[in-house]
A and B are shown apart, each in its own frame.
Chain A
């Protein structure tokens, strides 16, 4: 019957993957030379179960993932956990990666999924957000410019008020330099929709920054800048 036919098909398929695995093992990479291997080959090797290949990919993109996670969860410790979870997920799912997008883009997608899980939990348990964490971490120079610190605090507060998806879009576009097409690969939708959402997100961030600034100015005795007509 047809079920038997399917069975035969299922049993035949593994050999194709074992071939990849054998090919991977036939050309061993010397310990110090992983950085010379291209992403595509690292992915193939990682898919064949070569842990060092996957770890090289981690080294390549860990800083980007960390930066994205920090922007999303606004907490360095949580960002570390999110990043670890994301990379473990990536390792578990590496055979699902088909190369339809860049590997880095694929990692961003998984990272944002982990951020989502984290944010969902935070919302459920109503944990407060401590943006001061990231601001303080940044103070590596002892006489950090007070103005710069104020600016940074203002930025982090505004980012925190931004909806999660808008934060993601802004980070992907302005910090990770993804194209609209790549943003669409991460968050779904079309490149056109990604563009519209980026514009909305940036406008909203700008608005939040201006209102934070106006709030700061309002505390002082002199008047505000020219009033703007609200568009929302």
Chain B
């Protein structure tokens, strides 16, 4: 198997996919015309796709769905009726968080004021302009609770609410589940992404001066 074959075979699954078009597919097609190894590989990949699609997850049947929907309905109705203690807690904590966020600013202003010989709340001819300092320091801290408050206050009484929009971001990504499973990183360079260490080494050798 040549280097070209290794590269072509990496592209074969995409070649089968209708979403993939363009120069890469033309390269693959041209290579397949004259390479029996890659044709064999393509046939095996196609067989894998066929096998998967020939055996979809069987539908559990109408009884399953009826009982599932009944059970879900009860749970949903229960959720809807439950008071939301977390919402109340967060309603309280949002302003508190803002106060906490503003505290260092107040301390800073007071310190600056004292250092300059003014009282913390006194008016001075040229103090650090609060109109400028306040947004700079407070805005980033207040920005997050602000947006979450928008979410939380939107929920009427008795309606379930989410803890926050970031909770359902990409599946499992925060806890590193998927990386643990994969040898390779999801966001790796698309071309080098699925080379084995040996292949990468060989590629480097080739790039730096001729294949043995």
Q: Using a CB–CB distance below 8 Å, which chain A residues touch chain B?
A: 1-3, 6-7, 9-11, 13-14, 16-18, 21, 49, 51, 54-55, 58-59, 62-63, 66-67, 70-71, 76, 80, 83-84, 87-89, 91-96, 98, 106, 109-110, 112-113, 115-116, 119-120, 134, 137-138, 140, 148, 151-152, 154-155, 163-166, 168, 170, 173-175, 179-180, 186-190, 192-193, 195-203, 205-206, 209-210, 226, 229, 231-232
Contact = CB atoms under 8 A, between A and B. Distances in A.
B128 interface: no
A112 B171 contact: yes
A200 B161 contact: no
Given A113-B168, A187-B170, A209 B47 contact: yes
B81 to A, nearest CB: 11
Interface string B90-114: 0000110011001000000000000
Max chain A C-beta neighbours (<10 A), residue from B94, B167, B199? B167
Given A6-B98, A91-B76, A190 B187 contact: yes
A179 B19 contact: yes
Nearest to B148: A10
- The contact size tier of chain B is 35 or more
B51 A51 contact: no
Contacts of A175: 52-53, 56-57
Contacts of B159: 49
7 contacts: A10-B146, A84-B68, A166-B181, A175-B53, A189-B170, A198-B14, A200-B194
A92 B202 CA distance: 51
Given A163-B182, A165-B178, A170 B58 contact: no
A84 B75 contact: yes
Contact of B160 (A92, A120, A196): A92
B106 to A, nearest CB: 9
A1 B173 contact: no
A177 to B, nearest CB: 10
A108 to B, nearest CB: 8
A58 B72 contact: yes
Contacts of A11: 153
Given A138-B58, A202-B48, A231-B199, A14 B153 contact: yes
A138 B155 CA distance: 43
A112 B172 contact: yes
A89 B168 contact: yes
A88 B178 contact: no
